[in-house]
Amino acid sequence: MTRIITLTPNPALDYAVTADFVEPNRKLRCRDPQMHPGGGGINVARSCSRLGAHTLAIFTAGGVYGDALVKSLAIENVPMRMIPITGETRLAFHVKNDREDNEYRFNLPGAKMNEDEIARFLTAIREEAEPGDFVVASGSLPPDAPPDLWAQAAHVAKDQGARFVLDSISGLDAALAEGVYMLRQNEHEYEAISGKTLTWPGEIEAYAKDLVAKGQVQAMVVSHGGDGSLMATKDGVFTAPSFKVRASSAVGAGDSFVGGLLTALSRGDSETEALKFGMAAAGATRMSEGTALFDPADVKKLMASTPA
């Protein structure tokens, strides 16, 4: 059975609150605190687990926040392999501003990884990945991490016959030089490779097809907010529109998209259906408060509805 293995070397403990207003030099009284495990790969694994996929989260953890991260993942019954580190897992703080109906997101720097910790992280990939698995590198790299860490992870995953998926703007050049199975970028991230803003969908389709033609990726996925998403492969370009929802928070929506997309692909769905499932997972997460991910029932409802 295909497994979706996620990699998070720079996870976070997500903490979210709501404030009546946000102003400088004022005491802001907050309410409705929420705490969830966070970081790109961890959220992808949480999404896959909720959707019934066979998954494993490989991540680092250290200190008080690291302990809380592990406990919160265990509560959600997400299969995990934790790599202990000497540093403190970072905190990500989110404040919803009721007055202006927007949110502020503060991401603290993560803990550095020493050479031994990096070696154990790569060893975990080697020991866990099997032929046909998806190995998903997601989120940022820790401070002072080797810029080719994702490339090293891709090399290890490919040696095991797994399909390496990159969902990060960190270490892009080295990873693409190594070659990855799939690259996912959103409407803000693709410019790091293209070097410019492209129009949707025509120029972005051409850009995605070009990356595939160059052999840097086998599948290029771009999620473009309310416009929808697309995937370019050697077989063509596939698209899916977004779902119109009453949005509460954007935290975790991109990770939910990746989780939904890969869950659908792992069970043999077509590219178009997989994109649609990813968009439904992202839309359902946008309906959730604070740092909470989607309710699977909402994903099911969206899949039965008509996209925007």
Which one from 255, 269, 295, 298 is the annotated catalytic residue? Answer: 255
How far apart CA 34 and CA 45 sit, in angstroms, is 19
How far apart CA 64 and CA 90 sit, in angstroms, is 10
Residue type, 207: Y
Tokens of 182: 């799939």
Q: Who's near 27: CB < 8 A, 6+ residues apart?
A: none
Tokens of 52: 């019934």
Residue type, 188: H
Residue 186: Cβ within 10 Å count: 17
Residue 240: Cβ within 10 Å count: 22
**Among 270, 190, 279, 266, residue whose Cα is nearest residue 229:** 279
Assess contact for 167 and 264: CB atoms under 8 A: no
**Among 168, 114, 185, 123, residue whose Cα is nearest residue 146:** 114
**Cis (ω within 30 of 0) for the bond into 201?**
yes
Is position 255 annotated as part of the catalytic site? Answer: yes
Report the largest interatomic distance among the alpha carbons of the chain, rounded to a whole angstrom: 56
- Give the strand pairing for 12-19 and 30-38: antiparallel
Residue 251: Cβ within 10 Å count: 27
CA dihedral 145, 149, 150, 152 (to 10 degrees): -170
Q: Who's near 195: CB < 8 A, 6+ residues apart?
A: none
Just list the catalytic residues: 255
